[in-house]
Amino acid sequence: MDAFYAAIEQRDNPDLRAKPILVGGRGKRGVVTTASYEARPFGCRSAMPTAQALRLCPHAIVVPIRMHVYAQVSRQVRAILERFSPDIEPVSIDEAFVDLTNVPTWSTRGEAAAGEIMRQVKAETRVTCSVGLAPNKFLAKVASDMHKPDGLGVIPPEHAAPVLAPMPVSVIWGVGRVADAKLHSIGIETVGDLLAFDERELTRRFGDAAPHWRRLALGLDEREVHTEHASRSIGKERTFSDDISCPAQLRAILMDETEQAARLLRADGLLCRRIALKLRSPDFRTVSRSSVLPAPTNQTPELWSVAERLLSEFLAESPGPPIPLRLIGVRLEDLGEPAQQGLFDDQLRESRTRRVDAVSDAIAAKFGRAAIARAGSLKARAARPTGNAGRHSRDGHRP
């Protein structure tokens, strides 16, 4: 999707159209989640502190995150993709790989399919996407990025090497900021430079990563499109404007995060088998705690009981005053489809819990998540102590 969150905000608010907007938090530690295409020429980008982005583009408009709206549009896009192939690998809320290899009808493959996907997404969601068509995942991603926004890129296998050669070496998956700097220091700035460099020397300097980089530089990528749920997770985290040490306030914030993550889990029709906590102190030391659930579930009370226990155990580890935190987050992991339940397995308790969750989900879907909250999280809602209104992620989720 093209500048997904920003595009939706511009779609829903005529006053924001054709203007530079930043979707994210405004506080001292606010972070840009998405910068519109109008803001990008000024140097604004995602994951940048909002304050820095506003220095680069002072007239940019900061818009708060509306995750429930973005998730709804993401589900619309997923439904469109399923018309073309059952083999879909979601990468994030706004990106996915679609494998057309096993689609039997030639009329629904290739450029015709790619163009029709773009047309249907635009017609039904009123936001645009860019599509890359290629024989493997790496080249498809490159082709899509080359033709953003609202474009269709095609890289046939015989054109892969000449197309890649002049590109910066950072286009290769696995070449991050540190590796990019090291490669530049030895004269490797483009993909072509990488292929021309002595292969043994490259392996000596960079180890097992070097052969992988070279294969991608040649346009070779054997990775399949994975459609299983095993590696998926749903998370919610919040960075505070000011450090928080009050246990009651931390519990309230964690409960709010757990409720939001559980709501997304139920929307995807999945169950969670493991819950993990992420805690970060003012000196950026990050601590993780996790626990396997007694049984897979998507019910908020059961998830919350484990999350609260993990937080309590962390707080009890340090004698004296509570350790202040700058971030707290929860992640639901090891997700899977529901199995057939026993007829009398905790039937009464589960039915009451499910009814409460269902009513809560329906209200949030219709009026926004701020319209309803569990009593224990009201302090978090009232205080709004964050610079970033809350960061949400789904790894390989089903949109």
**Catalytically annotated residues:** 95
At 224, list the tokens: 């399949």
- Dihedrals phi, psi of 225, to nearest 5 degrees: -80, 115
Tokens of 110: 């290739």
As a three-state string, the secondary structure of the chain is CCCHHHHHHHHHCHHHCCCCEEEECCCCCCEEEEECCCCHHHCCCCCCEHHHHHHHCCCCEEECCCHHHHHHHHHHHHHHHCCCCCCEEEEECCEEEECCCCCCCHHHCHHHHHHHHHHHHHHHHCCCCCEEECCCHHHHHHHHHHCCCCCEEECCHHHHHHHHCCCEHHHCCCCCHHHHHHHHHCCCCEHHHHHHCCHHHHHHHHCCHHHHHHHHHCCCCCCCCCCCCCCCEEEEEEEEEEEECCHHHHHHHHHHHHHHHHHHHHHCCCEEEEEEEEEECCCCCEEEEEEEEEEEECCHHHHHHHHHHHHHHHHHHCCCCCCCEEEEEEEEEEEECCCCCCCCCCHHHHHHHHHHHHHHHHHHHHHCHHHCCCHHHHHHHHHCCECCCCEEEEECCCC
Distance CA 306, CA 334 (A): 15
Residues across the chain? 399
User: How many angstroms separate the CA atoms of 1 and 262, rounded?
Assistant: 25
Residue with tokens 């070779």: 220
Pick the closest to residue 100 from 113, 119, 90, 89 (CA basis).
113
Hey, what amino acid is at 282?
P
Give the distance from CA 254 to its chain's centroid: 19
